[in-house]
Every structure is written in structure tokens, then in C-alpha cells.
Structure 1
């Protein structure tokens, strides 16, 4: 019965709480393999530059792009696995009921935060993906290779912030349902 009231038992606190979180967790584990790819292409760049004196024009920007996208994804991954930053000095010494109310406060603040940042990211995407006349033209890096990575990273930021808003909404609903069930028991 305790797991129904408090789905986040000490043993399961890092487990995804719902279908969205489980999907984020699985996709994140797959995407983490891109770190290996980033290391491999960085090694390739070092080899080409310092051994063969033939540097590439694409490795640095590609590695930065992948690292940036993975870093942004890390935010929703941390929220999905309950690994986000909190003041554990206070959180760990309060009762379960107080902890639940702290979670409700956290989710409400997270909703506000992710909602406002989503709006700002939308403005950023609009400026980097469209001309003033509405034609699609992705912002590029301006380098010799000139990929559209800046626009794509901004799109990734917007997408993950929207997902984070949904996550906070789902977590808030789950937390409020847990409080209601606890009061009814």
C-alpha cells in the first residue's frame, strides 16, 4: 500500500515515474552512445592534425554540436530519473508529507521556469530558422564548413524545454494524486 501512496520509495527514487519518463530514460541511454562517437571523431581529428598534418574542418563543430545537444537532453533525463539538484540537507530531514509539499512547490516552480524558457526558446528558434519574411533559412555557423548547427541546437533547446514542461505537469499531477490518496487513507 505504501508504494501506491508514495511511488518514490527510497529504493525506486531514481526510476522513471511515468511513460514519458521511461521513454526519455531509454532514448537517453541510446543517445549516450553519441559520446563515444564524439570521442572517436575527436581522436580522428587529433590523428589527422598532428600525425598527418591534414586537419579537418568538420570535427570541432560536429563534436560541439553533439555535446551541446546531449547536454540539453541531460536536463530532461535528470528530471525523468529524479537526479535533479535539490537541497538534500533540508529535503532529507523533513517528513514524507512535507517532502511531498516541497515536491509540489518544486513542480510548480519548474512549470513556470520551463514555460517561460520555452517561450524564450521559441523566439530564438523563430529568429534562427526563419527570415523576416517567413522563408525557412536555418542559421549557420559562418565557418568554412558552415553547417546549420546553431539553428539545430536552438531547436533542440526548444524541444527539450517543451518536453520538460510536460514532465513537470505530469509529476505535479502524480504528486497531487499521491497527497490526495494519503489524505483519503
Structure 2
């Protein structure tokens, strides 16, 4: 009898798999509106620069910051709906059981990958958020406007990589539980 309450973990649907994935999915859909805002302020800059000959000092850096943060968030968003990178040529040719083992391998490698990148991102955050004497001093862009966007982007990278580590861990646990259920049935 097919389990209708808990679909197979290898299901390729775009449904989030756990509470964290559902939260990321909902937050990502809300944050996607910031792309519209980025286009709007970019249009404003073009209008101000070429029509009124009064360019802004803030639009380019703000648009770059928002775009960078949204693209970084896109990694955990894609993982939350099972749309991450996969070699489907091999994945689609193997049995369901082999797919489950490939998923386990993928999640273990993802844990290693995200933990190492999280550590590197932590080092970047430490350098960009604190002075050599330990005081909080956010790295700035060095432009005329000089916002702290470089430090904030590095913080966003660290945060999303840390969340990705947790996602890989949760997905690995779900995959292992799926393998155990199949053996028990």
C-alpha cells in the first residue's frame, strides 16, 4: 500500500519537505518582490541621469546589494523546493532505491560543502564586521555614499550557508528515515 500521508523523499515535486523548507519558500516568495523594487529604482536612476541630468549616488549600490542578497538566498530557496543542481541524466536512469542512495550521498557531500563554505564565510564576516581590536566596524563600500553593504552581503552569505547546512542535515535525516521505512515494509 502506498503511503499517501508521507510522499517518497525522492519525489521531484516542488513541495517543501519540512517546516524549515516551508518557511524558506514563503519568505522567498515575499522577498522576490524586491526584484521589482530593484528594477524600479534602476529605472529611477536612468530617468534621473539621462532626463534630468541629476544622477543618484545610492541606486547602483542598493540595486547591487539587493540583487546579491536575493541571489544568495536563491540557493536555499532552490533547495527548499527540490530544484537544486542534479545530474539528471544519471539520476533519471536508475531505480528508486539507487536514487535514494544517491540522495544520501548528495546530502552528505552537501553537509561537507556547506560546512566548509560556512566556515570560510564566517572568516569573511569576522574580518568585515570587526576591527583588529574587536570593536564592531562594518566594512563599507568606499564610494561617495559609503554604505556598509559589503559587510551585510558577507553576513547574508554566512547566514544562508548556515541555513543550507541545516537543510542538508534535515534532508539527510528524512532520506535515511525513508530508506529505513522501505526496509521495514
Q: TM-score, normalised by structure 2?
A: 0.97
Decide whether the 8 Å contact of 1:110 with 1:165 is kept in 2. Answer: yes
Structure 2 CA distance for partners of 1:5 and 1:17, relative to 1, 3 Å: closer
User: How far does the alpha carbon of each residue in 1:96-153 deviate from its partner, in whole angstroms, 9 at most, with x for none?
Assistant: 0000000000000000000000000000000000001100000000000000000000
- What SS does the aligned partner of 1:42 have? helix
The Cα shift of 1:93 comes to: 1.0
Equivalent position of 2:154 in the other structure: 154
Equivalent position of 1:137 in the other structure: 137
Equivalent position of 1:63 in the other structure: 63
RMSD: 1.0
Number of residue-to-residue matches in the alignment: 183
User: Within 2, Cα distance between the matches of 1:107 and 1:161?
Assistant: 14
User: Within 1, Cα distance between the matches of 2:76 and 2:53?
Assistant: 41
User: Within 2, Cα distance between the matches of 1:19 and 1:9?
Assistant: 17
User: Within 2, Cα distance between the matches of 1:184 and 1:60?
Assistant: 57
User: Within 2, Cα distance between the matches of 1:46 and 1:128?
Assistant: 31
User: Within 2, Cα distance between the matches of 1:6 and 1:31?
Assistant: 29
Structure 2 regions of 5+ residues with no counterpart? none
Structure 1 regions of 5+ residues with no counterpart? none
User: Within 1, Cα distance between the matches of 2:118 and 2:11?
Assistant: 31
